[in-house]
Amino acid sequence: MEILLWLVPSVVVTVVAMLWVAWAGREGRGEVDREVAVRRLAAALEPDPRRRRRPSPGYAVPTPDRDRSTGVAVRPSRRAS
């Protein structure tokens, strides 16, 4: 049981930090004006006109034409010798 005593300082520090954050976090949680919140949301949802989307770069080599699949797996035939 004595070996667990080294955990006591870290548990005390953790509990004190949790209490401090809970106490400090309750400040400033007043009512937000609805019109201000709506304006902030609208500004966040609108795309930024100054930021243009660049086209994504393509590949230097064109993609090869794919063989048409028939849906049937066929093994290549071997020549009988």
Q: Which residues contact 17 (CB under 8 A, 6 or more apart)?
A: none
CA-CA-CA-CA torsion sign (65, 66, 68, 73): positive
C-alpha 79, offset from chain centre: 56
Structure tokens at 67: 């063989």
Predicted confidence pLDDT, tens digits, the chain (81 residues)? 788 888 999 999 999 999 999 888 776 666 778 898 899 899 889 877 676 666 667 777 777 787 777 777 777 777 765
Q: What is the pLDDT of residue 81?
A: 59
Model's pTM, two decimal places?
A: 0.34
